[in-house]
Amino acid sequence: MKTRQPILWTMVAAAALLCAPSSVRAQSLTTPSDPSFLVAGMAQSQNRSVHSQGFGFGVKGGLLFSKFSQANVDYKNNNGYEVGVFFGGNRPGAFGVMGEVLYAKKGAKGSQGVQTLDNYYLEIPVLLRLNLGSSNKNTGAIVYAIGGPVFDVLLKSQLDGVDVKSNYESLDLGIIGGAGIEVSRFLVEGRYNWGLRNVLKASGGTTTEVKNRSFALLAGIRFN
């Protein structure tokens, strides 16, 4: 009986090892004797965690109020919308770079508010972001400021339902400036877009300077 006990315990230990998860078995078989591997592993894990927290990805959308800027002409606001995705921003850090891809409905109304121009853009901002507040993206709150260039690609243009895309430039460049607040994973943001280019094509040898101006009030959610 006594000679059988060591054999019995050996069989139990082998069965327990076979039933354990594969990762545990692999770890028990490949763990090096040098404890320095623990420090290296922890550092790599922390670096991956910080990188994933700082990158960030989410969606945002909301109301957009736009009009044209032209000398001696008083255009009225044309209410629209803006919706899309954002990524980056380095939420846990003080500074970051944030990119966005947005679909925006802009335009203007005539001085009498009779004619309505709707311009639809693919908007691509590349923004610097300054974060002030808690670095905890799950439970903290921050106030942030944004600023940088924006590239607007014209997709469609309609004047009272009639296609007039050929009358407008296909690319507009602008500068965005704004601020927002982010609590946990939810954000509210206001921004102004100053168009820098003349978006109206020259006609009949005459050039009229018409530039986009818009203000957006957005809400969003961050997924990571």
pLDDT digits (tens, 9 = 90+) for 24-61: 444 444 445 555 544 455 445 444 444 445 578 999 99
At residue 137, the pLDDT reads 78
* 159 and 89 share one domain: yes
Here the CATH number for the domain that contains residue 191 is 2.40.160.20
- Count the domains in the chain: 2
Residues 68-86 have a mean pLDDT of: 89
* 86 and 108 share one domain: yes
Angstrom CA distances, 20 to 6, 25, 28, 106, 115, stand at 21, 7, 11, 60, 73
Give the DSSP letter of residue 18: H
Cβ atoms 79, 65 nearer than 8 A: yes
**Does the pLDDT at position 17 exceed 70?**
no
- Note down the domain range covering 174: 54-222
Q: Average model confidence (pLDDT) for the chain?
A: 82
Residues 62-77 have a mean pLDDT of: 88
At residue 203, the pLDDT reads 75
In angstroms, the CA 178 to CA 145 distance is 6
Angstrom CA distances, 161 to 62, 68, 77, 125, 220, stand at 23, 18, 17, 28, 31
* 22 and 125 share one domain: no
* 168 and 74 share one domain: yes
**Does the pLDDT at position 183 exceed 60?**
yes
**Does the pLDDT at position 192 exceed 90?**
yes
Under the banding of pLDDT at 50, 70 and 90, the label for residue 10 is low
**Does the pLDDT at position 222 exceed 90?**
yes
**Does the pLDDT at position 96 exceed 60?**
yes
Alpha carbons within 13 A on the beta-carbon side of 34: 5
Q: H-helix or E-strand containing 63?
A: strand 57-69
Q: Over pLDDT 70: what percentage of the chain?
A: 74
At residue 207, the pLDDT reads 73
Under the banding of pLDDT at 50, 70 and 90, the label for residue 9 is low
At residue 44, the pLDDT reads 52
At residue 13, the pLDDT reads 53
* 35 and 58 share one domain: no
* 215 and 145 share one domain: yes
* 31 and 96 share one domain: no
* 212 and 107 share one domain: yes
Q: Over pLDDT 90: what percentage of the chain?
A: 57
Higher pLDDT, 80 or 113: 80
In angstroms, the CA 219 to CA 76 distance is 25
In angstroms, the CA 39 to CA 212 distance is 55
End-to-end CA separation in angstroms for the chain: 60
- Exposure of 6 by Cβ count < 10 A (0-12 exposed, 13-18 middle, 19+ buried)? exposed
* 93 and 142 share one domain: yes
* 37 and 83 share one domain: no
* 123 and 181 share one domain: yes
